[in-house]
Amino acid sequence: MKNLLEVKNLKKIYHDKNGEIIAIDNISFEVKDGEFIAIVGPSGCGKSTILSILSNLEEKSDGEIIFGKDEVKIGYMLQNDALFDHRTILKNTLIGLEINKDLNEEKKQRVINLLNTYGLGEFINKYPKNLSGGMRQRCALIRTLAIEPDILLLDEPFSALDYQTRLAVSDDVYKIIKKEKKTAIIVTHDLEEAISIADKVIVLSNRPSTIKNIYEINLPNKSVPTKNRKLKEFSDYYNMIWKDLDVHV
């Protein structure tokens, strides 16, 4: 597998009225085509900053971002599903194409097919208020997939959901991403979520955040991540990575 993305010595300094905040420093990692990467670390350590830089919403202060091919399209799915209440489900999922002035009949049909495939077909002309929390996340994911991104960035996509829903939705979202053969980077502070879902877990330290360790995860249930949570290997990974996280209670 070839690298779709290479991040080298990435650094971000924010400036505010109190001076400089070094959010991240010397962050380097590689992402292969089709890989599912999780970034974990304590709250405020700079996880969202990494995604914002990758998606060009923030400028880096230093380092390099190298894409494995020209014109890599990035899809960014935020924590809050940010669906527009006054737009139908279809119109919500088409918004990225609309903004990019890239909406045509063929692309619209492709999005309708995604909605049908992933259980939202009968809601196409309904509104976000008609959807459950899990369905809203699925809708937000389809909206992100609509622009046909090469890499999906997911920033704590399940954190607004209650625990049971979160498990179901993370399996759901995982299946869709795999089925659509996407490369994904998920940011989460939920270590169990990271281990169950990812091929590789990147552990960040407290701020100024550097990489503490990168773990390759080899668990058998590649199609249903939550099944992995019951395995002994799962707790082994958990205990190992937990020690790396600087959690002060």
48 interacts with ligand ADP by CB under 6 A: yes
Report the alpha-carbon distance of residue 239 to residue 181 in Å, rounded.
30
45 interacts with ligand ADP by CB under 6 A: yes
Stretch of residues binding Mg ion (CB under 5 A), selected from 19-27, 48-56, 82-90, 220-228: 48-56
21 interacts with ligand ADP by CB under 6 A: yes
Task: Decide if 155 contacts 79 (C-beta within 8 A).
Answer: yes
The site for ligand ADP, by CB under 6 A, has a size of 13
48 interacts with Mg ion by CB under 5 A: yes
196 interacts with ligand ADP by CB under 6 A: no
Task: Decide if 31 contacts 4 (C-beta within 8 A).
Answer: yes
137 interacts with Mg ion by CB under 5 A: no
- Return the residue of 26, 29, 32, 44 that touches ligand ADP, per CB under 6 A: 44
Contacts of 103 (CB under 8 A, 6+ apart): 94, 97
Rounded least distance, CB 70 to ligand ADP, Å: 28
Sign, Cα dihedral of 208, 161, 180, 122: negative
- Return the residue of 49, 92, 183, 196 that touches ligand ADP, per CB under 6 A: 49
CB-nearer residue toward ligand ADP: 12 or 182:
12
Report the alpha-carbon distance of residue 82 to residue 99 in Å, rounded.
15
37 interacts with ligand ADP by CB under 6 A: no
228's contact among Mg ion, ligand ADP, none, with CB below 5 to 8 A by partner kind, is none
246 interacts with ligand ADP by CB under 6 A: no
CB-nearer residue toward Mg ion: 48 or 196:
48
161 interacts with ligand ADP by CB under 6 A: no
By CB under 6 A, name the binding residues for ligand ADP.
14, 16, 21, 23, 41, 43-49, 207
